[in-house]
Chain A
Amino acid sequence: MGSSHTKVTTASLLVTLGIVFGDIGTSPLYVMSAIFGKNVITSDLVLGGLSCIFWTLTLQATFKYVSLTLRADNHGEGGILSLYSLIRKNAPQWMIYVAMLGCAALLADGMITPAISLTASVEGLKSLTHAVPVLPIVIVILAGLFTFQQFGTDKIGKSFGPIMLVWFSMLFILGVISMGHNWHVLKAINPVYAWKILTMHPGAWVIVGAVFLSVTGAEAMYADLGHVGKTNIRITWIFVKTSLLVNYFGQGAWALNHMDGQMLNGLNPFFELMPRWFVGTGVVIAACASVVASQALISGSFSLINEAVKLETWFRVQILYPSKHRQQIFIPMINRLLFVGSVFIVLYFQTSLAMEAVYGMALNFTMLSTTLLLMFFLRHKLHWDWIRIGALTLLFLAIELSFLAANAHKLAHGAGFTMVLMLFFIAVMVIHYLAKHVLLRKKKFVDIHQYEDIITDVSSDLAIPKYATNIVYLTSAYSVHRMEKQILKSIYQKQPKRADAYWLLHFNETEVPFQQEYDFTEIVKGKIYRIDFNLGYKVKPNVREMFSNALEDLNKKGIIDIENRYESLRKHNINADFLFIVMRNTFNLDSDSPIREIFLLNAYSLLQKIEEPPEQYLGIDRNSLLVEYIALR
C-alpha cells in the first residue's frame, strides 16, 4: 500500500492536511487560555509560555515524531502497535505491556479529543452573546458525527483537506495581524524565557501541563502515517507548524497588548484575535476543523482496536467495511463506547476549561511508551549505537517525565476519570493476552504423522456414514506437523466423522500490514491437507473468501481436485461440499488450579461473552459450520 501514497502532489498534500493534522491543529483553540488560566498576565508569563510551546513543538513534534518516529514506517503503516510489530522480534517480551499501556492511554484520552475541541470552538460564540446553548450544540454535533460513522467517510472525507487548509490559513492570518501590533513576542524563541517561567513562576507545573496540550496531537500524526506516507507529512508539517506558531505568538501578542496585569476571566484569546464581524464565521470554521480532528481520532481508534485484535491483546469485535476502501473500517462497539464516553465528558465537565484540566495525562503515557519502543527501533532497525540512542532516550524521557509530573496535578481536577478508563482498557488487554497464553499452553498438540494411518482408515471405511465430503478444522498449531489432540478426538472418537478429505486451516499474522498469501501442504495425498494463511496484521481473516480463492487457485494448478464425489451432483457441476469445524474453549477449573489462573480465566470468560464468536469473526458460513468444545483443564 505504501508505495502509492509516497508520491507527493498538491492533491496528496491537501489530503495529508485533512487526515493527519486535525488533532494537533485544533490545539490553539484551548492551549493559551489553559496557560493563562487563573494567572495574572505578565510579560514573563506570556513570553515564558510561548517559549515553552515553541520548544515543546520543536523537540517533541518536529524532532521526536516528524523526524524520528515517522521513520518507523511499517510498510507504510504507523501508530504505536505498528511500531511494536516492527520491533517485537528484537525486543524483550515485556515490551508488549508497554505497547498495551500506550494503546490503552490513547483510547482513554481519545474520548476527550472530540469533546474538548468541539466545546472550545462552540464556546467561541460566547464572545458574541452569552446566551449560547453550548452543551446542546456540542452534543448534537457529536451525535451526528458518530451516527455518520456507519456510512463511511468517503464522500465528506474529500472536504477535510480544504477545510483544514482554510483553518490553518486562518490561524496564520489572524496570528500575523495580531503579531503586527507587537513584534516583541518573537523574543520568546529564546529558551531562556522558558527556563525562567519554569523555575520562577509559582504555578509552573500547571503551566507545563497546559503547554503539553499543544503536542497531544503528535501521536496522531504518527498513527495516521499509513494514509499518506511520511514525505507528505514532513512537507505539510512545515506549513502546519508555521501556522500554529504564528497563531500562538499572535495570541501572546494580544495578551501583552490588551490584558497586561489582568486575568482572562473567561475570555479565550483565540477568538479575541478575530474582528467581531468575523467571530461567527470563525466559530463555524473552528467547529468544522474540530469535526475533522474528531474524525481522525475516531478512525484512528478503529484501526488501533483492529490491530490490537490481531495482536491478541483485544477480544474479537465485529468489524464492518462501510466503504469500498479496504482500509476504512467501522467497529460498532468502539463507536458506541466513544460516543457515550465523549457525551459523558461534555456533560460532566461542561466547559473546555474544565476539560483542559483533565486532558493530556493519559496521552503522556502513550508518548512515554512510544519513546521506549522507539529505542528498540533505532537500535535494531536503524542500527544506531547505544550511546546515541541512550542520549536521545534520556532526553525524551526527561521531557516526558517532567510533563508527567506536571500532568499529575490534573489528577486533582478529574484526570482520575481518564486514569480509571486507561486502567480498565489495560485490564481488558492484559487479561485477554495472558488468558490466550494460558489457554494455548493448556491445549495439547500431537504429531500428525503418528495418526495418519487411523485418519486414512476412517476415511476409507465405508461402514461409517459419511459426515461430509471435506471437513475443515481450524487449528492453532504453528507447525504443519502438529495439531490439537481434540481434532483427533473429533475425527474418530465420539461419533466418527468420515470424510473424503480433511483440511487443517491456520492463520499466521505477519508484520507486513496488508499481506495476504497462503502456503499449501499435502500431509497425506488425497486425504489430509493443510493451508496456512499468512495475513498482515491489518487484514481480517475471511475464511469464506480466502479459502474459496485458495481452493480455486489450487484446483487450477491441478494440485487438488474439488470435483463432487457424488455422481448426481457432479453431473450438474456442483462443487464438493465443505464442513467447517471450529473449536471453542471452555474451562474446567477445579480446586487445584492456581488462583491466578482461576481469576484470569473467569475474567476472560466474561470477555468471551461480549466478543464476536470465532465463526463470525472468521467469516464462516453458518450453514456449513459445526462448533465443538474443548474443555481445558
Chain B
Amino acid sequence: MEKQILKSIYQKQPKRADAYWLLHFNETEVPFQQEYDFTEIVKGKIYRLDFNLGYKVKPNVRDMFNAALEELMKKGIIDLENKYESLRKHKVSADFLFIVMRNTFNLDAETSIREVFLLNAYGLLQKVEEAPDKYLGIDRNSLLVEYIALR
C-alpha cells in the first residue's frame, strides 16, 4: 500500500481505530461487471476489498461498500457490531470514516521544465474535475481528504 497511508495512521496525530480497511478499484474489460474480492490481512484488524468493476460501471462507495459489508457480515466473516455499549443497545452499527489521498506537487528549481509545465497544467485540471466525494460517492460527512506532497 501507499507509504502515505502508513504515515496517515501513525505519524502526525496517530489515528487509532478498531479496524483499518483498504479499498481498491480495478477496472475490468467486462462492461458491467461488479464483483469484489475480500482479503483479511490481519485478523480483525486489517482488511482489503478489491472491487472489480467493468469499464461502464461508475464506482459508488456508498452502495458498493455497504452491500459488500452486509454480505460479509451475513457470511460471518466480519462483525459490524458497534463497539460502544450505548449504541449497540440501540442497534446502531459501527461507524466508518473514509480517508482519500489527493496529490499535490512541490515543484522546485530542479524539476524539469517539461514536468513543471505538465504538473501545473494538471493542477488546473484538478480544480475542475469532480470532487472525490462526488466521484466516488462517499458521504461528505464521513470523508477526510489528506494530501500527499509528491516531489
Please tell me which stretch of A200-208, A452-460, A518-526 contacts chain B, meaning at least 4 of its Cβ atoms lie within 8 angstroms of it: A452-460
Closest residue of chain A to B16, judged by CB?
Answer: A465
With beta carbons under 8 angstroms apart, the residue of B83, B90, B140 that contacts A457 is: B90
B13 within 8 A of A: no
Residues from chain B with Cβ under 8 Å of A464 in the complex: 84, 86
Closest residue of chain A to B91, judged by CB?
Answer: A454
In the bound assembly, the distance between CA atoms of A99 and B141 in angstroms comes to: 38
Most buried by A among B86, B95, B97, B140: B86
Residues from chain B with Cβ under 8 Å of A492 in the complex: 87, 90, 92
Q: Are B95 and A458 in contact, CB atoms less than 8 angstroms apart?
A: no
Q: A461-B85, A495-B95, A495-B97 are in contact. Are A454 and B90 (CB under 8 A)?
A: yes
Q: Mark A438-454, 1 if CB is under 8 A from B, else 0.
A: 00000000000000011
Residues from chain B with Cβ under 8 Å of A493 in the complex: 92, 95
A391 within 8 A of B: no
Q: What distance in Å separates the Cβ of B84 from its nearest Cβ neighbour in chain A? A: 5
Q: Are A586 and B140 in contact, CB atoms less than 8 angstroms apart?
A: yes
In the bound assembly, the distance between CA atoms of A616 and B19 in angstroms comes to: 37
Q: Mark B48-90, 1 if CB is under 8 A from A, else 0.
A: 0000000000000000000000000000000000011111011
With beta carbons under 8 angstroms apart, the residue of B84, B87, B89, B141 that contacts A629 is: B141
A337 within 8 A of B: no
B139 within 8 A of A: yes
Closest residue of chain B to A583, judged by CB?
Answer: B141
Q: Mark B14-32, 1 if CB is under 8 A from A, else 0.
A: 0000000000000000000
In the bound assembly, the distance between CA atoms of A628 and B83 in angstroms comes to: 24
Q: What distance in Å separates the Cβ of A65 from its nearest Cβ neighbour in chain B? A: 51
In the bound assembly, the distance between CA atoms of A455 and B121 in angstroms comes to: 49
Residues from chain B with Cβ under 8 Å of A284 in the complex: none
Residues from chain B with Cβ under 8 Å of A495 in the complex: 95, 97, 142
A631 within 8 A of B: yes
Q: Mark A454-493, 1 if CB is under 8 A from B, else 0.
A: 1001101101100000000000000000000000001011
Most buried by B among A460, A490, A496: A496
With beta carbons under 8 angstroms apart, the residue of A496, A586, A628 that contacts B95 is: A496
Q: Are A463 and B92 in contact, CB atoms less than 8 angstroms apart?
A: no
In the bound assembly, the distance between CA atoms of A457 and B85 in angstroms comes to: 9
Q: Are A490 and B84 in contact, CB atoms less than 8 angstroms apart?
A: no
Q: Are B90 and A494 in contact, CB atoms less than 8 angstroms apart?
A: no
Q: Are A494 and B86 in contact, CB atoms less than 8 angstroms apart?
A: no
Q: Are B85 and A463 in contact, CB atoms less than 8 angstroms apart?
A: yes
In the bound assembly, the distance between CA atoms of A2 and B90 in angstroms comes to: 54
Q: Are B95 and A494 in contact, CB atoms less than 8 angstroms apart?
A: yes
Residues from chain A with Cβ under 8 Å of B95 in the complex: 493-496
Q: Mark B80-116, 1 if CB is under 8 A from A, else 0.
A: 0001111101101001110000000000000000000
Q: A492-B92, A493-B92 are in contact. Are A629 and B140 (CB under 8 A)?
A: yes
Q: Are B141 and A494 in contact, CB atoms less than 8 angstroms apart?
A: yes
Closest residue of chain B to A488, judged by CB?
Answer: B92
Residues from chain B with Cβ under 8 Å of A457 in the complex: 86-87, 89-90
Chain A, interface size: which category? 10 to 19
For the complex, count residues of B whose C-beta is within 8 A of A: 15
Q: What distance in Å separates the Cβ of A493 from its nearest Cβ neighbour in chain B? A: 6
Q: Are A490 and B141 in contact, CB atoms less than 8 angstroms apart?
A: yes
Q: Are A496 and B87 in contact, CB atoms less than 8 angstroms apart?
A: yes
Q: Are B141 and A628 in contact, CB atoms less than 8 angstroms apart?
A: yes
Closest residue of chain A to B62, judged by CB?
Answer: A631
Closest residue of chain A to B141, judged by CB?
Answer: A628
Residues from chain A with Cβ under 8 Å of B140 in the complex: 586, 628-629, 631
Closest residue of chain B to A458, judged by CB?
Answer: B86
In the bound assembly, the distance between CA atoms of A458 and B87 in angstroms comes to: 7
Residues from chain B with Cβ under 8 Å of A453 in the complex: 90
In the bound assembly, the distance between CA atoms of A457 and B83 in angstroms comes to: 14
Residues from chain B with Cβ under 8 Å of A629 in the complex: 139-141
Residues from chain B with Cβ under 8 Å of A461 in the complex: 84-87
Q: What distance in Å separates the Cβ of A565 from its nearest Cβ neighbour in chain B? A: 18
Residues from chain B with Cβ under 8 Å of A458 in the complex: 84, 86-87
Residues from chain A with Cβ under 8 Å of B92 in the complex: 454, 492-493
Q: What distance in Å separates the Cβ of A496 from its nearest Cβ neighbour in chain B? A: 6
In the bound assembly, the distance between CA atoms of A178 and B115 in angstroms comes to: 82
Closest residue of chain A to B96, judged by CB?
Answer: A494
Q: Mark B110-151, 1 if CB is under 8 A from A, else 0.
A: 000000000000000000000000000001111000000000
Residues from chain A with Cβ under 8 Å of B139 in the complex: 494, 629, 631
Q: A495-B95, A586-B140 are in contact. Are A463 and B84 (CB under 8 A)?
A: yes
Q: What distance in Å separates the Cβ of B59 from its nearest Cβ neighbour in chain A? A: 16
Q: What distance in Å separates the Cβ of B128 from its nearest Cβ neighbour in chain A? A: 14
Most buried by B among A460, A493, A586: A493
Q: Mark A97-116, 1 if CB is under 8 A from B, else 0.
A: 00000000000000000000
In the bound assembly, the distance between CA atoms of A495 and B15 in angstroms comes to: 13
Residues from chain B with Cβ under 8 Å of A494 in the complex: 95-97, 139, 141-142
In the bound assembly, the distance between CA atoms of A496 and B90 in angstroms comes to: 13
Q: A492-B92, A493-B95 are in contact. Are A460 and B86 (CB under 8 A)?
A: yes
Closest residue of chain B to A584, judged by CB?
Answer: B140
In the bound assembly, the distance between CA atoms of A490 and B139 in angstroms comes to: 12
In the bound assembly, the distance between CA atoms of A457 and B87 in angstroms comes to: 8
Residues from chain B with Cβ under 8 Å of A454 in the complex: 86-87, 90, 92
Residues from chain B with Cβ under 8 Å of A496 in the complex: 84, 87, 95
In the bound assembly, the distance between CA atoms of A461 and B84 in angstroms comes to: 8
Residues from chain A with Cβ under 8 Å of B142 in the complex: 494-495
Residues from chain A with Cβ under 8 Å of B87 in the complex: 454, 457-458, 461, 492, 496
Q: What distance in Å separates the Cβ of A501 from its nearest Cβ neighbour in chain B? A: 16
In the bound assembly, the distance between CA atoms of A628 and B89 in angstroms comes to: 26
Q: Mark A408-430, 1 if CB is under 8 A from B, else 0.
A: 00000000000000000000000
In the bound assembly, the distance between CA atoms of A631 and B85 in angstroms comes to: 29
Q: List 5 A-B contacts (CB under 8 A).
A: A460-B86, A496-B84, A496-B95, A628-B140, A628-B141
Q: Which 7 A-B pairs have the closest CB atoms?
A: A461-B86, A457-B86, A629-B140, A454-B90, A494-B142, A628-B141, A495-B95
B positions within 8 Å CB-CB of A: 83-87, 89-90, 92, 95-97, 139-142
Not counting A492-B87, A494-B97, A496-B95, a sample of 18 additional A-B residue pairs whose C-beta atoms are within 8 angstroms of each other reads: A454-B92, A457-B86, A457-B87, A458-B87, A461-B87, A463-B85, A463-B86, A493-B95, A494-B95, A494-B96, A494-B139, A496-B84, A586-B140, A628-B141, A629-B139, A629-B140, A629-B141, A631-B139
